[in-house]
Structure 1
Amino acid sequence: MPEVAFWQGNEALAHGALAAGCRFFAGYPITPSTEIAEIMAEELPKL
């Protein structure tokens, strides 16, 4: 059975970018895009 995840829009964007091959992110943590920077900062070093 496939894994199911429920994400907010910014979370989905960040995970989608990683799944599509994004290996660089530059951003400034400010609302409304803070979640994107947080996820990218956490996940990119793992790749």
Structure 2
Amino acid sequence: MMTKKLWKGNHALAEGAIAAGLDAYFGYPITPQNEVPEYMSFRMRERNRIFLQAESELGARDIVMGATTTGKKAMTTFSSQ
């Protein structure tokens, strides 16, 4: 039987990505999603995966695009729509 867990939405998003095999997270902490980079900074290290704080949201996007061209599963999060 599966155990039930109660998570904040940002943490659930991060755990879902990790469970899906995320290799690398590149992010910039900015409200309202600043919990994601903070949480990922710990969880990715625990799993011996890549975490990098980028210089901006656009910089994080560009790094993700580069990482995915190498076949890695990479993601970022943005504060805007």
- How many residues align? The count is 47
Name the structure with the higher strand share: 2
Q: Under a length normalisation based on structure 1, what TM-score does the superposition of the two structures give?
A: 0.83
Higher RCO (C-alpha 8 Å, min separation 6): 1
TM-score by length of 2: 0.53
Structure showing the higher helix proportion among its residues: 1
Percent pairwise identity? 45
- 2:2 is matched by which residue type in structure 1? P
Specify the SS of the correspondent of 2:26. coil
The CA RMSD over aligned residues, in Å, is 1.1
Based on CA coordinates, which of the two structures has the bigger radius of gyration? 2
Q: Paired residue for 2:3?
A: 3
Unaligned runs of 5+ in 1: none
Deviation string 1:9-45 (CA, Å, 9 cap, x unpaired) is: 1111001000101120111111111111111100111
